Amino acid sequence: MHRRFFTRFLIVGLAVSLAAIGWGQTPAETTDPGTITATAVRGNVFATVKATGVRSQIANNAELLQGTIVETEVGASVILVFENGATVNLAEDSQLDIEQFTMDPLTAIVNVATLTTEPTRSNTRLRLNRGEIVGKVATLRTNEGSSFNVSTPVGAAGIRGTTFRIVFRPTGNGQAFTFSMTTLEGDVEVTLASGTVAAPVSVTDNLEIVLAEVTVDIDPVTNVVTVTTAQGAAPIPIVVAASVATTQAIQAAAQQIAAAVVDVVITTTGSVQGGGNTGQQNQQNQQNQENQGNQQQQQQQSPPATQNAPRTTTGDGRA
């Protein structure tokens, strides 16, 4: 009896130990490539597939995958809708490298405009080589292994589910840069590429980090990035309240995103329906359809005209 009890004890203990090991493991990253759809394209926007070097101009509803660099010329912009519902507004004269975008397959239709939590696990890694982005990311399934990171040569931002803006632009001589990361709502953890900050700095609602005229040096052998101020010292990130102008700029970009995705629906196959139009265009299209329906209804209700009766034009160009 004692031996049987001891055996059962070993089995139960082993099961508990294995379960504990499983619970302690970090969830594996997703592996299925997700789809990114371009919408609200304005001006000249180009996509370069890094594996082939093929560069092409993109238009509304163009589908992109990870491993693509998206570039906007002066006066151009584009909104990128990720299959997990995240959206990125890429401003003019910007270059964004989509290094990774993978996610678990969708199990239900996603309405981007009303999404508050991402539908499935996803892993996103973007690199802003230059320019400006405003992003809106639904709450991530971080406990399941989801992540959304945006890096620049100066620093990286870990997004947890928020509306944010990152700017990285040369100041004039092409060697000094301005870097800023602003959170409109939510929480973003920022780490400088130079490694001068031991732990990420948390940037929450209406706060920002600004590093003005920093110099970025990249070692050609080790690829180690060193960021220094004009005085040659390591920059110290200071979290401050975002200015009214900055907040208004982010809100304007967020409104553009909202208008562009008001009717965007992503099906379980990953295809986007309703993209490519702004909210005002969609309302106009709907009004046109209603007008056409009313005209057809009036024509059906009108009595048939006699052969000799004069014909009233309906505006279709016929006499």
Residue 211 CA neighbour count, 13 Å, CB half: 29
- 268 is written with which tokens? 């379980």
Tokens of residue 29, six digits: 């990253």
Which phi-psi region, left, alpha or beta, contains residue 161 (left: φ > 0; alpha: ψ -120 to 50)?
Answer: left
3-state SS, residue 6: helix
For residue 205, give the DSSP letter.
T
Among residues 145, 155, 157, which one has the least CA distance to residue 188?
Answer: 157
pTM: 0.76
Return the axis-axis angle of helices 244-260 and 279-301, rounded to nearest 10°: 40
The helix (run of H) or strand (run of E) holding residue 103 is: strand 94-103
Please give the Cα distance from 23 to 49 (Å, whole number). Answer: 38
Structure-token match 């209804």, residue found: 297
CA atoms within 13 A on the CB side of 222: 5
- Return per-residue pLDDT of the chain as tens, 319 residues: 444 443 443 344 434 343 444 445 556 777 889 999 999 999 999 999 999 999 999 999 999 999 999 999 999 999 999 999 999 999 999 999 999 999 999 888 888 888 889 999 999 999 999 999 999 999 999 999 999 999 998 888 999 889 999 999 988 776 788 899 999 989 899 988 764 555 788 999 999 999 888 888 877 787 777 888 877 787 888 899 999 999 999 999 999 999 999 888 888 776 777 755 444 444 444 444 445 445 555 554 545 444 444 434 344 444 3
